[in-house]
Amino acid sequence: MNVRSQLVMVFNLDKCIGCHTCSIACKNIWTDRQGAEYMWWNNVETKPGIGYPKNWEDQEHYKGGWINDGGELRLKGLGKGPTLLNMFFQPNMPAITDYYEPFDVDYANLHGAPKGDDQPTADIVSQISGQKMEEVTSGPNWDDDLSGSGQHAANDPNLADASIIEDYGRIFMQYLPRLCNHCLNPACAASCPSRAIYKRGEDGVVLVDQNICKGWRFCTSACPYKKVYYNWTTGKAEKCIFCFPRTETGQCNACSHSCVGRIRYLGVLLYDADGVEQALKQPDDKLVEAQRALILDPHDPAVQQAARKNNIPDHWLDAACNSPAYTLVKEQGMALPLHAEFRTMPMAYYIPSLSPVIAKHGDLHEVAKHGLIPALEQLRVPLDYLASLLGGGNQQVVTQSLAKLIALRVWMRAKNLGETADPALLAEAGLDETSATKLYRLFTVANYRERSIIPGQQREMKEPYLRKGGRGFGILKTPRGGL
């Protein structure tokens, strides 16, 4: 058993309101500079839709990720031969038009233009060439809130029945926040000829060494989530760094810290690195369960002993025991990986969304099985769509997660209204009152320290005299105060 630790983010899609505060927070801190104007390390997409960059999920076009080739894992679009042949040309890499040409608006011309007969205008200027642009045809979130439109939603590869967008009563929409998944089997790292991309052993964060990167851009082609970008000013690859300067001091990521809906949960997962390759060789519909099986119980003494042999410190083991990510991903099995069939084993997980609450009005509430709560089989978001997005095509793992969400809502609604809460409903979904109460707190009133349990990595973070209530940086013989 080769125990490794990984910082993980979990998203509750049922709570995301699509405000893009997370994207702006990330943009202001990390990519607000020349050459990175089009980069959105964190972005929020409207689903169904084509996403950013356009159609990033279509691996028949982009050929990203891994495939199981006769029992052997290999990169879908690259190998030693293709790498050498395409050293100076990437046929499957997104073009700038697949993102958007970043632009600025010359507002200064409105008040600085010389006197004339015509009203001055604010011209649109390309941030790449500096030339005036005649028309803006795309942007960083061009299809925001446009699910249901045939122009965008119909091109979503997860939507098997595109006719659903023609029926107003069946139209659905949800938001999908995305960042680098910091995968256990990152295709970007495997594809890099310079070996500039590496996965940190202490927390699993995938980073690009800017001193080694030669700008070959194989990483951009190989990443199936298209979360590695090319900076045309520096000639280097850039990507989400999981805000490691913050997490190293025990603070949560900027995107999570700024999240209005509090949909993000951060914590430590322990996993068996020796089983990763074999798990990735499973069929598509078994990948979610195989990935979940790799996650180890941090309360198990044998796991803790093996972790200490791999130099995982005790305060990381304590964080793993209290991790909300472990509760949601492994313990309750509610959070699922995004497109597990890409076989990168992503370490960002998503709790699938429920339909809007159905209001009673006359005889128009046939789908309301439990009062105002929709029945599982009548959800507005099709199960096959969620299974394609989060289950590797396996509807069962999605159904299990949704069943727990519905049972939790029905049970808590009954309690809050003073009605009889039927424990059998929880048991049917695989919950009990203790776990339901824990989940309810996580989803509703959990505070910052409950939603984000991140162990510090810097030595001073473990010293008692630097904790809140201490006396600054002076060494005390008798420490006082505490967190």
SS3 of the chain: the string is: CCEEEEEEEEEECCCCCCCCHHHHHHHHHHCCCCCCCCCCCCEEEEECCCCCCCCCCCHHHHCCCEEEECCEEEECCCCHHHHHHCCCCCCCCCCHHHHCCCEEECCHHHHHCCCCCCCCCCCEEECCCCCECCCCCCCCCCCCCCCCCCCCHHHCCCCCCHHHHHCHHHCCCEEEEECCCCCCCCHHHHHCCCCCEEECCCCCCEEECCCCCCCCCHHHHHCCCCCEEEECCCCEEEECCCCHHHHCCCCCCHHHHCCCCCCEEEEEEEEEHHHHHHHHCCCHHHHHHHHHHHECCCCCHHHHHHHHHCCCCHHHHHHHHCCHHHHHHHHCCCCEECCHHHCCCCCEEEECCCCCCCCCCCCCCCCEEECCEECHHHCCCCHHHHHHHHCCCCHHHHHHHHHHHHHHHHHHHHHHCCCCCCHHHHHHHCCCHHHHHHHHHHHCCCCHHHHECCCCCCHHHHCHHHCCCCCCCCCCCCCCCCC
* Average pLDDT taken over every residue of the chain: 86
Q: What is the pTM of this model?
A: 0.90
State percent of the chain over pLDDT 70: 87
Confidence of residue 234 (pLDDT cuts 50, 70, 90): very high
Tell whether the model's pLDDT for residue 483 goes beyond 50: no
Pairing of strands 66-69, 43-47: unpaired
Inter-residue contact 3 to 307 (CB < 8 Å) = yes
Exposure class string for 22-59: b at 16+ Cβ within 10 A, else e: bbebbbebbbeeebbbbbbbbbbbbbbbbbbbbbbbbb
Tell whether the model's pLDDT for residue 463 goes beyond 50: no
Instruction: Determine which of 189-193, 283-287, 322-326, 378-382 has the lowest per-residue pLDDT on average.
Output: 378-382
Tell whether the model's pLDDT for residue 362 goes beyond 60: no
Confidence of residue 382 (pLDDT cuts 50, 70, 90): confident
Confidence of residue 478 (pLDDT cuts 50, 70, 90): very low
State the Cα–Cα distance between residues 28 and 108, nearest whole angstrom.
22
Segment 414-431, tens digit of pLDDT: 888 888 878 888 999 999
Q: What is the mean pLDDT of residues 250-257?
A: 94
State percent of the chain over pLDDT 90: 63
Instruction: Determine which of 167-171, 190-194, 284-288 has the lowest per-residue pLDDT on average.
Output: 167-171
Looking at residue 322, its pLDDT comes to 94
Looking at residue 121, its pLDDT comes to 86
Instruction: Pick the closest to residue 43 from 209, 190, 178, 211 (CA basis).
Output: 178
Looking at residue 140, its pLDDT comes to 85
Tell whether the model's pLDDT for residue 217 goes beyond 70: yes
State the Cα–Cα distance between residues 241 and 25, nearest whole angstrom.
14
Residue 328: CA atoms inside 13 Å, Cβ hemisphere, count?
33
Confidence of residue 469 (pLDDT cuts 50, 70, 90): very low
State the Cα–Cα distance between residues 280 and 277, nearest whole angstrom.
5
- The neighbouring-strand residues paired with 239 are 228
State the Cα–Cα distance between residues 481 and 313, nearest whole angstrom.
23
Tell whether the model's pLDDT for residue 139 goes beyond 90: no
Confidence of residue 79 (pLDDT cuts 50, 70, 90): low
Pairing of strands 66-69, 72-75: antiparallel
Tell me the CA distances in angstroms from 206 to 70, 158, 167, 217, 347, one per residue in order. Answer: 28, 27, 43, 16, 11
Segment 264-322, tens digit of pLDDT: 999 999 999 999 999 999 999 999 999 999 999 999 999 999 999 999 999 999 999 99
State the Cα–Cα distance between residues 221 and 155, nearest whole angstrom.
21
Segment 89-136, tens digit of pLDDT: 777 889 999 999 999 998 888 888 888 888 888 889 999 888 999 888
Tell whether the model's pLDDT for residue 164 goes beyond 50: yes
Looking at residue 473, its pLDDT comes to 36
Superfamily of 263-451 according to CATH = nitrate reductase domain like (1.10.3650.10)
